[in-house]
């Protein structure tokens, strides 16, 4: 029997934060991420600020390194 159950993202991240983290790790700027996700650059900025706090990072580079190390990258482009 196969059972499916939902598990939360590590570090208490939301689905949207994981999406933002994916694009930050790919080197995209806030305006580029906003365009891809159909949200405002300010909203992206807020998500990035939350990611920095949740992951205990001080820069986008640290966020990217942690995402790669923790295996948080999404398999495909969104």
Give domain limits for the chain. 11-70
Q: How many residues are given for the chain? A: 78
Report, in angstroms and rounded to the nearest whole number, the Rg of the chain calculated over CA atoms: 13
For residue 40, the Cα-to-chain-centroid distance in whole angstroms is 16
Other Cβ atoms within 10 Å of 24 Cβ, number: 21
| pTM confidence score | 0.83
Cα–Cα distance measured from residue 47 to residue 41, given in angstroms and rounded to the nearest whole number: 10
Domain boundaries 11-70, CATH class: mainly alpha
Grouped pLDDT means (10 residues each) for the chain, 78 residues: 78 92 96 98 98 96 93 68
Three-point CA angle 44, 59, 13, nearest 5°: 55
Q: Residue 71: what pLDDT?
A: 84
């Amino acid at each position: 029997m196969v059972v499916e159950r939902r598990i939360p993202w590590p570090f208490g991240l939301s689905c949207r934060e994981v999406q933002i983290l994916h694009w930050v790790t790919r080197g995209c700027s806030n305006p580029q991420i906003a365009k891809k996700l159909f949200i405002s650059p300010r909203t992206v900025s807020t998500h990035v600020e939350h990611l920095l706090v949740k992951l205990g990072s001080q820069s986008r580079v640290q966020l990217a390194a942690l995402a790669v190390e923790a295996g948080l990258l999404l398999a495909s482009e969104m």
